[in-house]
């Protein structure tokens, strides 16, 4: 990867790392790289989440795009998967989502989709970076005054997306009572309508965005409020999304947390029983819980692991024709219906499955036994992230922990692709042991890299 793009687009603190100038440059570069050269006015969609800086960056991106002749269609506040779906439905050349996903409001980000609704591969991101960093010249791409692009608004974007998600559900949610936490993010524009029209009785939580409260003590990164609500109210499930609604985590009717691995286990076994799980395979990542891998072995399902990031899960699915995959964090990809992780689609598929089977989420979640897992996040500088790969004391501490765990556990230490963090994950059968090992390795990281 280059210096701008991480595992999920470009991300940083708005007006500091991610400036209007950078957004304008990115708009120009993306239009030149992604659009058909024979198309004088390529069409580019722009969606955004609810954070305060999204309007500013949307305007800057549109300016850059128009300056090279692109026709911009703004979608307003929509989930990221809506952009991925609508770029193909509206026959656009590219789609852009302005969002920092699960990060707090001061961050923002830019994700780019090609005309077929897929996130960009590394080589295209590198070509865009080369233009922004001055390694490629696009001065010849600027049109005369008559060729400058225009900006219009797609008035039916949320309706078209809601109808698409509804079309993937073949068993209604009639009679179900669910609590939905939209993280004061993109799902606040779609979730109540979507789930109500599918037949559910819906209680909305954290659906009043004000520009600065996205993900603040709510949503999929802060499940405590939803768990408490479910424990004190008679509902069948709680559903939590992140800021741009591309991930989903859940709470069963007893108030127990249900993460992406449990969701994938339930859906994968059901898909296998219906002949919908291509090659009897699920794609996860190196962070997928060992309990999920054992679940797959016990149920005749093959498991493939990729690098962390739903883009890499999808790449493996496309390469080998798999139909289902995702991450523990709640990015789940139903390839029969979508080109990216979609939190609301995931919730719809799982809740519909429960209604069809007349089952409780708590009983279905027992299909998999989760291995205890501890994750310690350590804030580091970009230089610290790079030094991690070569620092001998850190490597030695990791190797020592791995030797102690043996075959009954594992340790993974990796830089975050979306935040200035190193993540130490230790997993195994002995909860106290993995906690101690995680803290010991984290202590070494802090001493040597912070």
What domains appear along the chain, each with residue ranges and CATH number?
5-155 (3.40.120.10), 160-367 (3.40.120.10), 373-449 (3.30.310.50)
Asked if 48 contacts 97 with a C-beta cutoff of 8 angstroms, the reply is yes
What pLDDT band is residue 414 in, cutting at 50, 70 and 90?
A: confident
What tens digit of pLDDT does each residue of 182-218 get?
Answer: 999 999 999 999 999 999 999 999 999 999 999 999 9
Catalytically active residues, by annotation: 101
Residue 38 pLDDT grade (very low, low, confident, very high; cuts 50, 70, 90): low
Specify whether the CB–CB gap between 403 and 428 falls below 8 A: no
- Kindly report, residue by residue over 348-373, the tens digit of the pLDDT: 999 999 999 999 999 999 999 999 98
The pair of structure tokens assigned to 70 is 């692109």
Are residues 421 and 415 in contact, defined by beta-carbon separation less than 8 angstroms?
Answer: yes
Of 98, 364, 350, 169, residue with least CA distance to 248: 350
Find the mean pLDDT for residues 212-227. Answer: 97
φ, ψ at 177 (rounded to 5°): -110, 120
Tell me the percentage of the chain whose pLDDT exceeds 70: 96
* Per-residue pLDDT band at 40 (split at 50, 70, 90): low
Split at pLDDT 50, 70, 90, the class of 2 is very low
Identify which of 340, 369, 337 has the alpha carbon closest to the alpha carbon of residue 352.
337
> pLDDT (tens digit, 9 = 90+) per residue, 248-257?
999 999 999 9
Percent of the chain predicted with pLDDT > 90: 78
pLDDT of amino acid 3: 65
Question: Minimal CA–CA distance to 204: which of 186, 222, 218, 188?
Answer: 188
Average pLDDT across the chain, whole number = 92
**pLDDT at res. 5:** 78
Question: Over the stretch 50-104, which tens digit does the pLDDT of each residue have?
Answer: 999 999 999 999 999 999 999 999 999 999 999 999 999 999 999 999 999 999 9
pLDDT for 449: 87
């Amino acid at each position: 990867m280059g210096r701008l793009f991480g595992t999920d687009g470009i991300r940083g603190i708005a007006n500091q790392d991610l400036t209007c100038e950078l957004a304008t440059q990115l708009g120009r570069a993306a239009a030149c790289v992604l659009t058909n050269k024979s198309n004088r006015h390529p069409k580019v969609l722009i969606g955004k989440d609810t954070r305060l800086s999204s309007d500013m960056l949307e305007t800057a991106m549109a300016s850059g795009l128009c300056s090279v002749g692109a026709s911009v269609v703004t979608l307003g506040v929509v989930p990221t998967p809506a952009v991925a779906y609508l770029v193909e439905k509206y026959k656009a050349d590219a789609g852009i989502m302005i969002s920092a996903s699960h990060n707090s409001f001061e961050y923002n980000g830019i994700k780019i989709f090609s005309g077929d609704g897929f996130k960009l591969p590394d080589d295209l991101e590198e070509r865009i970076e080369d233009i922004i960093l001055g390694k490629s010249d696009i001065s010849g791409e600027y049109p005369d005054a008559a060729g400058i692009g225009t900006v219009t608004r797609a008035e039916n974007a949320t309706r078209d997306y809601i109808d698409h998600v509804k079309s993937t559900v073949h068993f209604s949610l009639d009679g179900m009572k669910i609590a939905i936490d939209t993280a004061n993010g993109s799902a606040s524009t779609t979730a109540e309508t979507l789930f109500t029209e599918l037949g559910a009785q819906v209680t909305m939580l954290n659906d009043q965005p004000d520009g600065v409260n996205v993900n603040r003590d709510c949503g999929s990164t802060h499940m405590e409020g939803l768990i408490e609500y479910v424990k004190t109210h008679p509902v069948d499930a709680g559903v939590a999304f992140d800021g741009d609604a591309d991930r989903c985590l859940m709470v069963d009717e007893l108030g127990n947390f249900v993460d992406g691995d449990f969701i994938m286990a339930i859906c994968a076994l059901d898909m296998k029983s219906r002949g919908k799980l291509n090659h009897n395979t699920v794609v996860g990542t190196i962070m997928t819980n060992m309990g999920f891998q054992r679940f797959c072995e016990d149920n005749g399902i093959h498991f493939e692991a990729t690098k962390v990031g739903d883009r890499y899960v999808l790449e493996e699915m496309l390469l080998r024709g798999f139909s289902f995959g995702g991450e523990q964090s709640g990015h789940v990809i139903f390839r029969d219906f979508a080109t990216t992780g979609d939190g609301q689609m995931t919730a719809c598929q799982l809740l519909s499955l429960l209604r069809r089977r007349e089952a409780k989420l708590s009983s279905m979640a027992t299909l998999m036994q989760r291995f205890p897992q501890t994750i310690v996040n350590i804030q580091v500088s970009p230089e610290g992230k790079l030094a991690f790969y070569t620092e001998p004391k850190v490597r030695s501490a990791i190797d020592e922990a791995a030797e102690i765990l043996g075959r009954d556990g594992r340790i993974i230490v990796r830089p975050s692709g979306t935040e200035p963090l190193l993540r130490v994950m230790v997993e195994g059968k002995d909860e106290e042991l993995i906690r101690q090992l995680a803290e010991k390795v984290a202590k070494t990281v802090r001493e040597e890299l912070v």
